[in-house]
Structure formats: structure tokens, C-alpha cells
């Protein structure tokens, strides 16, 4: 008969595999999602196992995350609803509603489904009559199926990959890093399965964004790799970043790459260097996002103190570190206007006291790294905008 793995969404079985887990499934988990605990055999899921009258204990082997985190991970891998449904996109609402019906009516994942025993729509019945594989969902990659299926659940509901039976059968052991091993086995297909490489203008930008990602979105940090300017002996600045992008294009790299530049004049000048290059689909060049509060920001220049919209003119990473570090007793730390860029007919600005601002930001990072309950005590709005722009780069 063999041993099987089971994938559950909100405690409902949605995918089964014999002996070994599907590698693609493990991409929606992090190794830190592993859970092992002692539990009674009688507590196994009745939709899969029926009612078991066995009150002895077994050690479970599971990976558990939330629907919301799984969706976030699928999205940054490129599995959005549009891609997942393809030509079936017009049926999106019907698929989502049908998956919800199937789950809420406790329809078992079995080829012996009896529609008369469940109150389902005709479309849900057509999906439930299956051979145990993805509810007849029209997709080659099961992550497309999972993306649409997860849309039918609440974001705080649980997604569980149960490896207990196959672990007891000897296919895995509790110490094995199943998630990491399975994801590594997929890296031959770089486009979908490798980490997304993030290129920044300099080492400070990289450190700030990487650490912020780990604090604010820890469930996504394993999906990105940041270029180490120290190890790579790479110089910083927008022009150097553009040069790196050109080099990556030349090498034909298969990984997804996001090059993120400042939202300032120097960056928009530099990006003109790739405007005539046909970038492959796996490489995106973006800027730090628009900041609403920067529309009337204090500036210093030859004509004195003025408030101006500094978006596109002086938006370095410091502007995204939160109002709690951008303000002193006098208000926002001002922008100092520098040189004039004739090709764009606008000035380049730079925030004053940049080092002090970064130091204050690192202090709040350290507090939140040590105690995540402190996160809501600080302003992360700008950093959320910045990180979301990275997450959406391939959507």
C-alpha cells in the first residue's frame, strides 16, 4: 500500500503524495516552519484516516505556515492568480468559490467521491470528481493550483504539510531539513525556484533593506539573496548598479534579479543607461517608491528654506526609515540641494545628517530584532512601501 504525505489547508486535505513530498510544495514553507510534537494517533485527520481508536502517542513531523504567508511566498515566486489560471482567468471566481465549497463541506480527496452526499454546485462537483490530483485543476505546476486554492481560505488559516507517516516509514527522519533539501533539488530551474537576487546602490542600502526584510517579513527573507558589496568588492552608486545590471544581462543569468535604485535625480540619470537595452523578463530595474509625505518636504538651497516635492529628486534610502528617525526637535531633517542635472532639468538633493539618521534606524532595528513585540512601537511605513515594491517586481 505504501506511505503517504498529506497537504492540508484549514485542516482539509488538498494534495497527497506517495513516499516523498512534492518538492514544489516545500517552496511555500521555510525550514523554521518545521513542527514536531507528541500527539495521539487518534488525532490524525479523519478525512484521510477515518476514525482511529488508538490512544497511543506518535511523534509528528510537519511543516506549518499560514495561508497569508504561503500566498506571499507564491506571489514573489511569480505565481499570482493571473499566471496560475492562464486562459481560465475568466473562471477565477468560480474556482475560488468551488474550492471553498469543497473545503467547507468536508469533501474527501478521493476518486470515490459521492456527490449526492454533499451540497455542492455543479462546478464544485466537476472539480471534486478527480483521481486525487489537484481537483482536476488545469495547471502543469502544482503551485498554480495551490495559489488559486489558497485564495479561497482566510489568510490566518493554516497550511500543513504532514510528513509523519513517511517519516515513520523511514523515507525521512525528524532531523532532515526537508524543505531546504527539496528546494535545493529544484535549483536547476533557476527562473522559478532560485532565490531572487537584490541589487542595491551600496552596502548601506543592502544592509538596511536586508535587515528590515528579516524584521518585517521574516517569512519571505529566505526567498531573496542580496549582493554583498564587501565580498564582491563592488563600488556603490547608481552608475555602478546599472553597470552590474548590464553585466548580468551579458552573462545570461537565469535567476530573477531586482535592481532597486534611489528615487532621486542621480538614479534617474543612471537608469538611462539601460533604457536602450532589452532587459530579459527575469531582470527588473525599479526605483524606491513614491512617498506621500515627501510632497511638501523641507529643503535648503540658494533661495533659502522651502518646502518642495522631493520625490524623484532626493529619495535616498534614508527617506524610507520612518518619521521617528527623520525628525528632530525642529521637524523633518531637511534636504540640501546639490548640483543641477541639465539632461533632466532638475536638481539633485541629499538629506542632511545622513549618518545620524542611519544610526538611529539601526538602534530601532536592534530593538525589534531582539524583541519583535516592539515592532508596532516604531514607524515602518516607508520601509513597508519599499519592500512591497520589491515583492511586486515580478507580478
Residue 188 confidence (pLDDT): 53
Does the predicted TM-score (pTM) go above 0.85? Answer: no
Task: Kindly state whether residues 59 and 132 are assigned to the same domain.
Answer: yes
Residues 218-230 as b or e (16 or more Cβ within 10 Å = b): ebbbbbbebbebe
Handedness of CA 134, 140, 143, 147 (dihedral sign): negative
Each residue's pLDDT, cut to its tens digit, for the chain (395 residues) gives 579 999 999 999 999 999 999 999 999 999 999 999 999 999 999 988 889 998 899 999 999 999 999 999 999 988 999 988 888 899 999 999 999 999 999 888 776 667 677 788 989 888 887 655 677 788 778 899 999 999 999 999 999 999 999 999 999 999 999 999 998 887 655 455 678 999 999 889 999 999 999 999 999 999 999 986 544 444 568 888 888 888 888 877 778 999 999 999 999 999 888 887 889 888 999 999 999 999 999 999 876 789 999 999 999 999 999 999 999 999 999 999 988 888 888 889 999 999 999 999 999 999 999 999 999 999 999 999 999 999 999 88
Residue 192 confidence (pLDDT): 56
Half-sphere exposure of 362 (CA within 13 A, CB side): 9
Residue 233 confidence (pLDDT): 45
The single residue listed with the C-alpha cell 541639465 is 342
Task: Kindly state whether residues 182 and 243 are assigned to the same domain.
Answer: no
Task: Kindly state whether residues 54 and 131 are assigned to the same domain.
Answer: yes
Task: Kindly state whether residues 42 and 120 are assigned to the same domain.
Answer: yes
Residue 96 confidence (pLDDT): 95
Task: Kindly state whether residues 283 and 337 are assigned to the same domain.
Answer: yes
Q: What is the CA radius of gyration of the chain?
A: 25
Q: Which of 153, 170, 187 is the last residue of a domain?
A: 187
Task: Kindly state whether residues 229 and 97 are assigned to the same domain.
Answer: no
Task: Kindly state whether residues 236 and 340 are assigned to the same domain.
Answer: yes
Task: Kindly state whether residues 176 and 201 are assigned to the same domain.
Answer: no
In the structure grid, which three cell numbers stand for residue 163, read together? 510528513
Task: Kindly state whether residues 214 and 172 are assigned to the same domain.
Answer: no
Largest CA distance in the chain: 83
Burial of 300 (0-12, 13-18, 19+ CB in 10 A): middle
Q: Which of 124, 154, 187 is the last residue of a domain?
A: 187
Task: Kindly state whether residues 47 and 68 are assigned to the same domain.
Answer: yes
Task: Kindly state whether residues 176 and 321 are assigned to the same domain.
Answer: no
Helices then strands, counting H and E runs in the chain, come out as 16, 19
Task: Kindly state whether residues 160 and 227 are assigned to the same domain.
Answer: no
Measured distance CA(177)–CA(175) in Å, rounded: 6
Domains identified in the chain, total number: 2
Q: Which of 160, 187, 214 is the last residue of a domain?
A: 187
Beta strand 34-35 with 62-66 is antiparallel
Measured distance CA(242)–CA(355) in Å, rounded: 25
Range of the domain at 372: 195-394
Measured distance CA(16)–CA(6) in Å, rounded: 5
Measured distance CA(149)–CA(166) in Å, rounded: 25
Amino acid at each position: 500500500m505504501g506511505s503517504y504525505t498529506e497537504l492540508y489547508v484549514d485542516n482539509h486535505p488538498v494534495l497527497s503524495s506517495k513516499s516523498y513530498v512534492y518538492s514544489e510544495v516545500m517552496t511555500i514553507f521555510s525550514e523554521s516552519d518545521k513542527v514536531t510534537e507528541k500527539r495521539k494517533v487518534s488525532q490524525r485527520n479523519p478525512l484521510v484516516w477515518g476514525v482511529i481508536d488508538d490512544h497511543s502517542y506518535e511523534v509528528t513531523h510537519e511543516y506549518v505556515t499560514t495561508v497569508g504567508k504561503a500566498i506571499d511566498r507564491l506571489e514573489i515566486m511569480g505565481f499570482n492568480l493571473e499566471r496560475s489560471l492562464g486562459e481560465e482567468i475568466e473562471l477565477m471566481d468560480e474556482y475560488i468559490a468551488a474550492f471553498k465549497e469543497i473545503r467547507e463541506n468536508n469533501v474527501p480527496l478521493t476518486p470515490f467521491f459521492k456527490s449526492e452526499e454533499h451540497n455542492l454546485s455543479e462546478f464544485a462537483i466537476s472539480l471534486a470528481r478527480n483521481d486525487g490530483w489537484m481537483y482536476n485543476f488545469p495547471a502543469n505546476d502544482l503551485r498554480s493550483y495551490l495559489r488559486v486554492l489558497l485564495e479561497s481560505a482566510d489568510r490566518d488559516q493554516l497550511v500543513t504539510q504532514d510528513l509523519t507517516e513517511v517519516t515513520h516509514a523511514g523515507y525521512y527522519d525528524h532531523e532532515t531539513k526537508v524543505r531546504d533539501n527539496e528546494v535545493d533539488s529544484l535549483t536547476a530551474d533557476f527562473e522559478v525556484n532560485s532565490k531572487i537576487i537584490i541589487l542595491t546602490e551600496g552596502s548601506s542600502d543592502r544592509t538596511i533593506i536586508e535587515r528590515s526584510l528579516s524584521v518585517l517579513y521574516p517569512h519571505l527573507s529566505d526567498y531573496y539573496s542580496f549582493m554583498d558589496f564587501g565580498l564582491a568588492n563592488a563600488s556603490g552608486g547608481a552608475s555602478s548598479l546599472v553597470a552590474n545590471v548590464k553585466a548580468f544581462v551579458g552573462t545570461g543569468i537565469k535567476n530573477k534579479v531586482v535592481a532597486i535604485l534611489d528615487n532621486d535625480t542621480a538614479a534617474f540619470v543612471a537608469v538611462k543607461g539601460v533604457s536602450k537595452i532589452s532587459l530579459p523578463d527575469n531582470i527588473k530595474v525599479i526605483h524606491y517608491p513614491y512617498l506621500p509625505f515627501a510632497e511638501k518636504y523641507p529643503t535648503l538651497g540658494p533661495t533659502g528654506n522651502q518646502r518642495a516635492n522631493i520625490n524623484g529628486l532626493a529619495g535616498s534610502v534614508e527617506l524610507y526609515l520612518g518619521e521617528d528617525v527623520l525628525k528632530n526637535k525642529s521637524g523633518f531633517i531637511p534636504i540640501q540641494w546639490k548640483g543641477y542635472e541639465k539632461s533632466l532639468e532638475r536638481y539633485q538633493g541629499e538629506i542632511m545628517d545622513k549618518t545620524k539618521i542611519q544610526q538611529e534606524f539601526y538602534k530601532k532595528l536592534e530593538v525589534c530584532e531582539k524583541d519583535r513585540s516592539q515592532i508596532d512601537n516604531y514607524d515602518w511605513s516607508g520601509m513597508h512601501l519599499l519592500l512591497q515594491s520589491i515583492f511586486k517586481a515580478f507580478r
